[in-house]
Amino acid sequence: MQATGAESGLDGDLAAAFGVAPAPFTASVPDCRALVETVVPGMRLHLGYGANGMFPYALLSGEGLHIVSEAPTVPLAILRSLVAARTAQERSAPPAA
């Protein structure tokens, strides 16, 4: 399934995956910003529109990462970048002893 807007099921999955209280992440830029600050503290979030002006993008940078994601909505672009950043962090983390 690929989200194109607000998806309450996806909101619940995100809350469970990141261990945070449920919120309307797929519909709310402020909730997405708060989630970014919780999940990847210290990373910078920049929002804009691509060169064609059709789709928003979210850029997350910091800790040696530079991730840009486009999506149909600003919250979804933020969430795509957040999931990619978290995945990259987990892959680069040393194995647990």
Per residue in 22-79, pLDDT (tens digit) is: 999 999 999 999 999 999 999 999 999 977 778 899 999 998 889 999 999 999 999 9
| Residues contacting 19, CB < 8 A, separation 6+ | none
Interatomic CA distance for residues 64 and 93, integer angstroms: 13
Residue with tokens 């910078």: 44
The pLDDT of residue 10 is 84
Average pLDDT of 9-28?
A: 91
List the domains of the chain with CATH numbers: 8-92 (3.30.2120.10)
Interatomic CA distance for residues 18 and 11, integer angstroms: 11
| Exposed/middle/buried for residue 31 (C-beta within 10 Å: 0-12, 13-18, 19+) | buried
